[in-house]
Amino acid sequence: MRVRTRAIVAVGVVFAVVALLGVWVVVRQLGGQLRLPVASRTCTVQADGTVVLDADQMANAATIAAIGIQRQMPERAVVVALATAYQESGLRNLAGGDRDSVGLFQQRPSQGWGTPEQIRDQRYAANRFYAALKKVRGWEKMRVTDAAQAVQRSAFPTAYQKWADESEVLTRALLGEATGAVACTVGRTPAMRGEAAAAALTRGLALDWGLSGTGTVAALTGLTVPAADRRDGWRYAHWLVSHAPDHGVKRVRFAGLEWTAEDGTWAKVSDGRPADAQVLAEVFAEG
């Protein structure tokens, strides 16, 4: 009886080891593209299609899109950039990769992209990608994967195309072509609160969008962002929601709609303020 029990236990151990090895292989193969569900920090983007990302991926996507617009690149460039980052890192700011590759776009210091520290800066990496893409003759008329490959020179030149649809959905939302299109859930313990959160948002808006006209709100612990038109307003509103989990954003209001961290969704609201003149953002108070 003991022999039999030992045999069963041994077989169970073998199966467990095999299962763990299988998980390890999958993780090695998918790398940054492996996206596990994170119940309290998930973002859903809906703009003629649906994309679900975790909080880090969403913030990175929003920054990539904003840098493209700040550089006055066309919408197509943002699609190409997002598809590239999807394939290279799963929209994650990786500390390493193949050989000396680093960051969102897996750029290599040995190939002149910058120092590892520079490339780990999402804004620096995005700026370098757009600058390189702009030098590719005729990239605007290329397929997404061909334009990306002209910059990246990957061993898998067609791999970027599989992310084209997701990247187009993200681009439509993040460039303000859809209303209330980015909705994120925020955990009960925000990473930042109070003045530190408001200051971080102001700095992020300046770096990503080149905005310097944000102001503080007396009644809210937060800020206001002037919007020239509805499209700009939704760009900034979606950016704020995209960065909500890592910047302690509690509420975003624009054009008669309001997103709240408590519900994680957009709903109609009316408070007598100009609907399209500015975006309001409130952060979690110190507590």
When comparing pLDDT for 262 and 62, which is higher? 62
pLDDT tens digits, 206-262: 999 998 767 666 555 789 999 999 999 999 999 999 999 999 999 999 999 999 999
- 243: helix, coil or strand? coil
How does residue 7 score in pLDDT terms, banded at 50, 70 and 90? very low
Could you tell me what percent of the chain has a pLDDT over 70? 82
Q: How much is the pLDDT for 33?
A: 41
How does residue 32 score in pLDDT terms, banded at 50, 70 and 90? very low
Q: Are 144 and 161 in contact (CB under 8 A)?
A: yes
Q: How much is the pLDDT for 189?
A: 83
When comparing pLDDT for 110 and 274, which is higher? 110
* pLDDT of 83 higher than 90: yes
Q: Are 254 and 233 in contact (CB under 8 A)?
A: yes
Average predicted confidence (pLDDT) for the chain? 86
* pLDDT of 200 higher than 50: yes
Q: Residue 256, by phi and psi: left (phi above 0), alpha (psi -120 to 50) or beta?
A: left
Q: How does strand 222-226 pair with strand 215-216?
A: antiparallel
Q: How much is the pLDDT for 21?
A: 40
Task: Please report, for residues 55, 127, 238, the alpha-carbon distance to residue 111 in angstroms, rounded to integers and kept in the order given.
Answer: 30, 16, 34
> What's the pTM?
0.84
When comparing pLDDT for 37 and 276, which is higher? 276
How does residue 140 score in pLDDT terms, banded at 50, 70 and 90? very high
Residues 6+ apart with CB under 8 A from 259: 180, 183, 237, 241, 251, 252, 253, 265, 266, 267
Task: Please report, for residues 1, 198, 207, 242, the alpha-carbon distance to residue 250 in angstroms, rounded to integers and kept in the order given.
Answer: 62, 11, 21, 12
